[in-house]
Amino acid sequence: MATCMRTVWKVLGGCQRHLLRAGAYTSASQIPTRHLSSKIVATLKSLKKVKKDDTQKKEEKKEKRIIDDKGRHKPFGKTAWAPVDDVYIRTYYPMTIYDAAEAIDMLKNFQVLDFTPLKQPVYIDLRLNMELEKKRKVDPFVSTVHLPHPFKTEINKVLVFTEDANQAKAALENGAVLAGGAELIQPILDDEISADFYVAVPDILPKILPLKNKLRKKFPKSKRGSVSTNISELLEFFKASHEYNVENNCYVKTQIAMLDMPTEHIFANLKAVLMNVCSHRPADMGPFIERAIIASRTSEALWFNSEDIVRKPAEKEEDEEEEE
């Protein structure tokens, strides 16, 4: 009898140790504490506390490590500040960031050295900081900018919504592809009529609401500057305007010029696009453009400094005073 009792106690002890080793603390916690020793109860409580502390640490936001390379003989994790030869592995050195005008001149030099066509588009690729406080983000947007030196050979097709016969006549005389009222709704829904931009006078907006789902971001809105009583001014802007949008939540990829244009014209178009992009930045945010790249169709991509272009003269003077 005594042998049987010892065997039973050994089995029960083994089951208890197995539960503890397997981490089945939930099941073990369901065992009444009066059947467990005080040491085991204390161990279970300490394990629960450690587990709770670990969960709280994971929930805490990890701060991004900022490495200051000022005063270092080489950048952190790199071989040197700049290569000493023309042939090198790019990942071993920090990315070279050029001035915008210098980058444009380099694109023109690449075209001459590579014997590529002179008439080729010039693109920019921007990465925007869309993060706001409390896990909020800036909504992706579509914007229209009037380039000082348009690169398109054809003017944009602009359709004007108005029920005033005189306004419709003036719109057609100023270059509108079509002008009319509610009678244009069904042909647009049936894809019989299309245009690059749609503008309207304020009075007709309630009557063209059925086109909102069809036109989506092209639907006339005051916020986008496509609603006004001044038809001639609308047409002058949208006939030669350039449209771009934010892709994949934070990227702007768009053409700004042709490589055969003068450097001054390419730079002016670049500045117009950058200033328009930064106009969508919330007032309480810092730098909006995190990374800026410019390239032609056949050249390599060049990183350039966009802050000197978008900063206001007053901000530049303040920075210069701080440096002094």
**Mean pLDDT, to the nearest integer, of 55-63?**
57
Most confident stretch, 24-33, 112-121, 137-146: 112-121
**Mean pLDDT, to the nearest integer, of 261-269?**
96
Residue 319 dihedral angles phi and psi, to the nearest 5° = -65, -40
Residue 86 binned pLDDT confidence (cut-offs 50, 70, 90):
confident
Q: What sign for the dihedral angle of Cα 87, 89, 94, 96? A: positive
**Which residues 6+ apart lie within 8 Å of 197 measured at CB?**
144, 156, 157, 158, 159, 218, 226, 238, 241, 243
DSSP three-state, residue 122: strand
- Per-residue confidence (pLDDT) for residue 26, from 0 to 100: 46
Residue 49 binned pLDDT confidence (cut-offs 50, 70, 90):
low
Q: Are 214 and 189 in contact (CB under 8 A)?
A: yes
pLDDT tens by residue, 124-164:
999 999 888 777 888 898 899 989 999 988 889 999 999 99
* Comparison of pLDDT for 168 and 320, the residue scoring more: 168
pLDDT tens by residue, 192-225:
999 999 999 999 999 999 999 999 889 999 888 8
Question: How many helices (H) and strands (E) would you count in the chain?
Answer: 11, 10
Token readout for 232 is: 């001639």
Measured CA angle at 45 (ends 40, 46), to 5 deg: 100
- Burial annotation 283-312 (CB, 10 A radius, 16+ → b, else e): eeeeebbebbbbbbeebeebebebeebbee
**Mean pLDDT, to the nearest integer, of 287-299?**
93
- Per-residue confidence (pLDDT) for residue 132, from 0 to 100: 81
pLDDT tens by residue, 120-130:
999 999 999 98
* Comparison of pLDDT for 1 and 103, the residue scoring more: 103
Token readout for 177 is: 């592809």
Which candidate, 283, 276, 284, places its Cα nearest to that of 142? 276
